[in-house]
Amino acid sequence: MSDQLSERINNLVPSATLEMAAKARELRASGKDIIGLSLGEPDFNTPDYIKDAAIQAVKDGYNSYTPVDGYVELKDAIITKFKRDNGLNYERAQIVVSTGAKQALYNVAQACLNQGDEVILPCPYWVSYSDIVKLSDGVPIEVKTSIDNNFKMTPEQLEAAITPKTKMLWYSSPCNPSGSIYSKEELRGLADVLKKYPKIIVVSDEIYEHINYGVTTHASMAAFEDMYDRTVTINGVAKAFAMTGWRIGYIGAPSYIARACNKLQGQVTSGANCIAQRAVITALLESPSRVQYMVDEFKNRRKLILELLNNIDGFKCNEPEGAFYVYPDVTAFFGKTFNGKTINNASDFAMYLLEEANVATVTGDAFGNGNSIRISYAASEEHIREAISRISDSVE
């Protein structure tokens, strides 16, 4: 019956991260002892002070439609957060609250892209960027980066990728999946190229901002005066506050883009969930130091997983500066054969690890770089030790 469906949906690739997580869940339900290191989801609970704010909101009778672009009090909390953490000055008309950063990204793509518009994506990029761009009739332009340059795009590479059709540049910093962070100087280098192309809009996805291990200080593209008017800053609470299921993300943007996202959202979702919005006011107004304990724990796990992986021949890791993923190059395993099956690429290797080591990871192909796999270390130390030991045994 797929001929009854739209070409749009038939051409859409399912989210590889969510698909792998579903597969691991299915295998677990059938009795297999699978360790899931595929999904980028903190294994912590949402902090109590945020949960309490949600409970209070229920008791206070928050149950009606909210303003489409978010409660005024939440917008004000977001404005405070942008100023406090990023030195960015936004007004209410520049803020839109959405059902997760994912919807925020989708809104921006729908609002800005016309058929054939090109969007530059430094690889590896977050799994959904490419398909969100395609869903909006845009054309993803992948810029390959190298593990030897910590997976960062250079100004020269950016310049070479720009054509008369370039409409946007999208990146995440800290990066999912590589963990790389563009320093202020590196962002300035990219901004200097963009100076020559004043129409290109930048989407700076900063959802892992607080998950930073202290090697590189977080910087925002919109903090450069000459970039402010054409940068959309994306953020959300899923990662730093362990609130993935609450589904709140937001943008700070030029007001014409914010207005467009508001208009779209008014026809699609009517706005984000009212209780979650109230809870996020508290999450953002409290000091980020209240969630530092999670970052400290991720830092320990990062050290552990890097030590363990670096002991396995064939895994070549860069050192993630933020987020909670490692993105090892696994090309050393390509061409190897097991039980008559040859591992030809990262997808085969991730599948091999799932079947032979009972460990779920994600193929690097999903992030536009087929030399690596992504391993999430948002998992307990015990699970990390056991998973890497199984991986080590399975590749010996």
Residues at the contact surface with ligand GLU, assessed by CB under 6 A: 15, 17-18, 39-41, 102, 127-128, 176
**Does residue number 244 form part of the binding site for ligand PMP (CB under 6 A)?**
yes
Q: Which does 18 bind (CB under 5 to 8 A by kind): ligand PMP, ligand GLU, none?
A: ligand GLU
- Of the candidates 40, 70, 271, 328, which one interacts with ligand PMP according to CB under 6 A? 40
Nearer to ligand PMP, 15 or 331 (CB): 15
* Pick from 218, 8, 196, 231: nearest CA to 108: 231
Our finding on whether 249 is near ligand PMP (CB under 6 A) is yes
Q: At residue 50, what are phi and psi to the nearest 5 degrees? A: -80, -40
Is 57 or 243 the residue whose CB approaches ligand PMP more closely? 243
- Residues 34 and 27: beta-carbon distance below 8 Å: yes
Contact flags string 215-234 toward ligand PMP, x per CB under 6 A = --------------------
236 binds ligand PMP (CB under 6 A): yes
> Which 8-state DSSP code applies to residue 179?
-
Long-range contacts of 154-157 (CB under 8 A, 24+ apart): 154/189, 155/189, 155/190, 155/192, 155/193, 157/122
Distance (Å, whole) CA 27 – CA 21 = 10
Count of beta carbons in the 10 Å neighbourhood of residue 23: 16
Task: Give just the sign of the alpha carbon dihedral 205, 275, 74, 272.
Answer: positive
102 binds ligand PMP (CB under 6 A): yes
Antiparallel, parallel or unpaired: β 95-98 and 249-252? antiparallel
Q: Which residues contact 374 (CB under 8 A, 6 or more apart)?
A: 38, 177, 325, 326, 327, 361, 362, 363, 364, 366, 367
Measured from the CB atom, the residue of 17 and 94 that comes closer to ligand GLU is 17
Assess 364 for contact with ligand PMP (CB under 6 A). Answer: no
Q: Does 176 bind ligand PMP (CB under 6 A)?
A: yes
Rule CB under 6 A: is residue 377 a binding residue for ligand PMP?
Answer: no
Comparing CB distances to ligand GLU, the nearer of 57 and 362 is 362
Nearer CB in complex with ligand GLU: 15/392: 15
CA atoms within 13 A on the CB side of 230: 15
Q: Is 265 in the site for ligand PMP (CB under 6 A)?
A: no
**Residue whose tokens read 């054939």:** 116
Nearer to ligand PMP, 258 or 280 (CB): 280
* Minimum separation from the CB atom of position 357 to ligand GLU (A): 19
Query: Quick one: what does residue 349 bind among ligand GLU, ligand PMP, none, with the CB cut-off 5 to 8 Å set by partner type?
Result: none
- Which of ligand GLU, ligand PMP, none does residue 69 bind (CB under 5 to 8 Å by kind)? none
**Closest C-alpha to 299, from 315, 321, 329, 327:** 321
42 binds ligand PMP (CB under 6 A): no
- Nearest in space to 202 (alpha carbons), one of 174, 222, 185, 186: 222
Minimum Å gap between C-beta 146 and ligand GLU is: 22
Alpha-carbon gap, residue 208 to 36, rounded angstroms? 20
Q: Which residues contact 6 (CB under 8 A, 6 or more apart)?
A: none
Nearer to ligand PMP, 40 or 320 (CB): 40
Binder of residue 249, out of ligand PMP, ligand GLU, none (CB less than 5 to 8 A by kind): ligand PMP
| Binding status of residue 101 toward ligand PMP by CB under 6 A | yes
Residue carrying structure tokens 């917008």: 75
Partner that binds at residue 101, options ligand GLU, ligand PMP, none, CB closer than 5 to 8 Å by kind: ligand PMP
CB nearer to ligand PMP: give 68 or 395.
68
In 10 A of CB 126, how many CB atoms?
Answer: 26
Give residues in contact with ligand PMP (CB under 6 A).
Answer: 40, 100-102, 126, 172, 176, 205, 207, 236, 238, 244, 249
